[in-house]
């Protein structure tokens, strides 16, 4: 938290692109050894090209939504299964993951085994969560003016979805 007098002084709290670039370049020149700086954003296409050029950001990694191949890795890691006796459940999960944007972290959360939840219960819980998320997407797309989820974030979500489709 900044002191009250600093918060009120806009000039002290402004960060400009030039200031950020100077800071980044200063870190590189001041450090004798190699340094790794990690930047994150939800809107890479809106960043200034000077910020993301080679030399400043050499490696770009997209952390996308969970798809079926990633789900299989998570199922193997969390549930110690590669194939499941409920093949139709895996097929259903595959179809739902094509329609629903869910992060790998959210999928992994549903795959965590507890004393009360075995692998079957975890997979069924994931199917329920994916179906619920799919229903929410349908509600947002059909009635954006009535959806509380759409307020403030829904419009950005639609833009992100459109941008994602363009870049893939």
Average pLDDT, integer, range 105-127: 92
Q: Where are the alpha helices (DSSP H) in 9-118?
A: 10-13, 17-30, 49-52, 68-79, 87-99, 104-110
What is the value of pTM for the model shown?
Answer: 0.58
In whole angstroms, what is the distance from residue 124 CA to residue 129 CA?
9
Domain segments of the chain as ranges: 4-52, 68-167
Q: CA 64, 118, 66: angle at the middle one, nearest 5?
A: 5
Average pLDDT, the chain: 78
In whole angstroms, what is the distance from residue 93 CA to residue 19 CA?
47
In whole angstroms, what is the distance from residue 37 CA to residue 15 CA?
18
Distances (CA, A) of 15 to 12, 27, 118, 120, 165: 8, 16, 50, 51, 32
Average pLDDT, integer, range 124-129: 96
Distances (CA, A) of 48 to 17, 20, 84, 130: 8, 11, 47, 35
Q: Does position 164 have pLDDT exceeding 50, yes or no?
A: no
């Amino acid at each position: 938290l900044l002191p009250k007098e600093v918060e009120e002084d806009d000039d002290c709290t402004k960060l400009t692109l030039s200031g950020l670039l100077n800071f980044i370049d200063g870190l590189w020149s001041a450090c004798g050894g190699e340094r790794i700086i990690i930047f994150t954003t939800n809107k890479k296409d809106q960043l200034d090209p000077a910020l993301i050029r080679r030399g400043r950001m050499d490696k770009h990694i997209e952390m996308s939504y969970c798809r079926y191949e990633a789900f299989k890795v998570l199922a193997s890691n969390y549930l110690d299964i590669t194939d499941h006796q409920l093949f139709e459940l895996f097929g259903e999960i595959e179809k739902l993951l094509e329609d629903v944007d869910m992060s790998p972290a959210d999928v992994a959360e549903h795959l965590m085994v507890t004393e009360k939840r075995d692998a079957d219960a975890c997979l069924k819980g994931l199917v329920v969560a994916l179906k619920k998320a799919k229903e929410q997407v349908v509600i947002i797309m059909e009635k954006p003016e009535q959806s509380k989820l759409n307020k403030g974030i829904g419009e950005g979500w639609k833009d992100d979805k459109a941008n994602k489709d363009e870049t893939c």
